[in-house]
Amino acid sequence: MTAAIGTLRTGHVGLNVTALDRSLAFYREALGFEQLGEGKEDGRRFAFLGRDGELVLTLWQQADDRYAPRAAGLHHLALSAGSIEEVRAYEERLRGLGVDFAYEGVVAHREGAASGGIFFHDPDGTRLEISVPTGAEGAPAPAESAPTCGFF
């Protein structure tokens, strides 16, 4: 008898980085992740990051070059916030840290959408998003007919 197939959801995301210490600092300071564990073997460095003991992100120091937007693989990492005010608080924190933003301020996911957020890059150029499903009503949409998160 075959087991029932359930609904899948994302467990955690693994990102290749060029410099683990630099990326650890970014994800802890800028986004508030806790370090849950670390591997320090020469040539096999990695770190587990999360919230409240739950693994969200693993950083693997095994990349030779920065993120390549045109390469197959990860397009962007989207993180969900609890409110538009929380998104704006992250924006303020990130601006204070000199983070590179794709768009100015909160933008809608598409023209007229209630969902939206901020779009920025980590130290290796990986594209990141912090968004909410509602609260961005009236925010500008960078592209009229295409999803904002698809082309930054």
The SS3 assignment for 60 reads strand
Query: Each residue of 117-151: pLDDT tens digit?
Result: 999 999 999 999 999 999 999 999 998 778 998 88
| Residue 16 bridge partners (DSSP) | 60
pTM of the full structure: 0.91
152: nearest Cα among 101, 102, 111? 102
Report angle CA 139, 96, 14 to the nearest 5 degrees. Answer: 80
Taking only the tens of pLDDT, the chain with its 152 residues reads 677 788 888 899 999 999 999 999 999 999 999 999 999 988 889 999 999 999 999 999 999 999 999 999 999 999 999 999 999 999 999 999 999 999 999 999 999 999 999 999 999 999 999 999 999 999 999 987 789 988 88
